[in-house]
Structure 1
């Protein structure tokens, strides 16, 4: 039974503590701790190591895979303009996946022990410690596992020769998303669009966490009505 006044000890591994918060978990996880130093997740050193990734690991691993997928479609008879169209289509599909996963899965409300624990591992840890640079990108092993159902899903709607090109485009979209996400938290953009995206995303973290689910773009927030109002507009109401 969950103690009503349960307190998480930040000096101990967190993952198997957060489930005990019960209904208080949502308030706790959406109260950020802004520090560059990330918390410890697990007591086991090997498991703990697997939860941490440097940002550069993502393009190092997945850019060659993207090229391999596109080469598969090229060898099956598609020319370069067709390959380019598959890549652009895959990236576009990814942006919708990015929005949908962030809104409906990453921000699902949980209260039981195991759902709180799973949510913390999936996304809650990022909201609690938004500047933890080693847990901003998705672990490559998890991405590899998710590629299997993604491939089979695309295969249902595409031809055998276009499936690799579309999956490669979606994978490239994911890589761009992870790199953008890391940069929005740790970079200091000077040009207009990156500055807008950084402000837009940090607004999601620190002002209104129930809106602004896009990372690489605010397109789908505009389409589905989850575009947050600016501070100036909010004050004028």
Structure 2
């Protein structure tokens, strides 16, 4: 078993989304050939949606038995159901609504219309994770976790100089006073994310170059949260040429 960090560079955003979507379909076929079900964590943002759009457009997606795939999210904005800013709404629009996935296999975070407080919503999602826990864990082992990376190096809703990245005794946390609007959010914690077999970080744009360079140079996870992220088997940074501007040539992989 390997535990590696790799950086794969693509010429532009379009080729990046296309390549990641093709790898996702291929890897899902491999995973489902080896096990009964798969657990995938989705992310939001422009590249997260672009990858799902590309999966939806691929004829190869019909080769996957999506009824055996569970979908989760790394974080969510505390806004109403079906709000365009919700990560789950973006994923439904891009892909999930067109797949034959049982409702019970889609695990969105509670919304601000749920009747729960933010703290209660965090506890509710933690309980749902626990229902699918394995190997004594309070959560499933995710086969693939998609993450975006902010210009400040944040992942999910774990931000620099905030306590969230340091939490190790919970699976889900409420986030208040987020430096990025909206101020209230829900997020998986770092240990849960790092329990994933494979973490795929997809980022594009020159504004991400500094965060990526610092993370790969060994920056503190408190300063640059993405620096503290590493999957059990592999951690792959799928990036475009602009985002790779500060990545040392020696760290760029020539193939997957």
TM-score under structure 1 normalisation?
A: 0.25
Which has the greater radius of gyration?
A: 1
Higher strand share: 2
